[in-house]
Amino acid sequence: MARAAAVPIASGVWRIPLLGDFVNGFILRDADGQVTLVDMGVKQSGPKVLAALASIGSGPSDVTQLLLTHAHPDHAGGAAHVAQQTGRDFAIHEDDAAYAEAGQSPPRDQSFWLARLMTRFMGSNAFPAVTVGERLVDGQVLDIAGGLEVVHTPGHSPGHAAYLHRGSGVLITGDSIFNVRGLRWPIKSFCTSFALTTKTAHRLAELDYTTAAFTHGPHLADQPREHIRRFLSTHPTVD
């Protein structure tokens, strides 16, 4: 059976499996048909985002908002293609905006030997640059289908953000926590500060939501806050 281009996770919200369940983007559609897209996957994923849009009966002209959780190539790689097709600029937290505009990932955590090795031999993770139309701040509520709150959770990148969709109860976690064969921390050497990631992820335990939508791994709709709280209680912060 072919994999669905878009997986419904709540009323008006779909997950886009861009590399299986391992890399996800998201669609949020208002009652009037306006569409918001969150995260565009790797460079080759741009057409998949548009195919997912078509699969729910929407098109590029319906897109009014483009958002990124952070400026890494597995989330922003397909962004330039989607921006070209929709004619829209991107919104991203202000601390990652310059990286998105440069098409360059933030620095890696140099306290890990693998990060130092990657930086030495691979440089920064590059992706096609995008135009940032709005720089977001923590606590900002975007006028999207009942309100989409920006939750700044720095560490994985300086401007890493989760998004809480109040209308549906969906929390888009970004890369604060992965759900790959169970809940786990993101890859340490890909973080700007892994220690900070383990601290700010605790903000996810304080929010009110009914579905946790992970950018890496399938979503959780069965007591997701309890799962995340349990994970955080058994995986202590790093100093």
Q: What is the pLDDT of residues 48-91, one digit of tens each?
A: 999 999 999 999 999 999 999 999 999 999 999 999 999 999 99
Q: What is the pLDDT of residues 1-59, one digit of tens each?
A: 567 999 999 999 999 999 999 999 999 999 999 999 999 999 999 999 999 999 999 99
Counted domains in the chain? 1
pTM of the complete model: 0.94
Contact indicator for 215, 68 with CB cutoff of 8 Å:
no
Domain-located, residue 1: no
Question: Could you tell me the pLDDT band of residue 238, with boundaries at 50, 70 and 90?
Answer: confident
Domain residue limits at 204: 7-234
**Nearest one of 164, 107, 129, 109 to 43, comparing CA atoms:** 129
Domain-located, residue 59: yes
Domain-located, residue 2: no
**Nearest one of 201, 198, 199 to 212, comparing CA atoms:** 201
Question: Could you tell me the pLDDT band of residue 114, with boundaries at 50, 70 and 90?
Answer: low
Domain-located, residue 181: yes
Contact indicator for 156, 175 with CB cutoff of 8 Å:
yes
Domain-located, residue 239: no
Report the CATH number that the domain containing residue 114 is assigned in CATH: 3.60.15.10
Cα separation, 120 vs 39, whole angstroms: 28
Domain-located, residue 214: yes
Domain-located, residue 106: yes
Domain-located, residue 60: yes
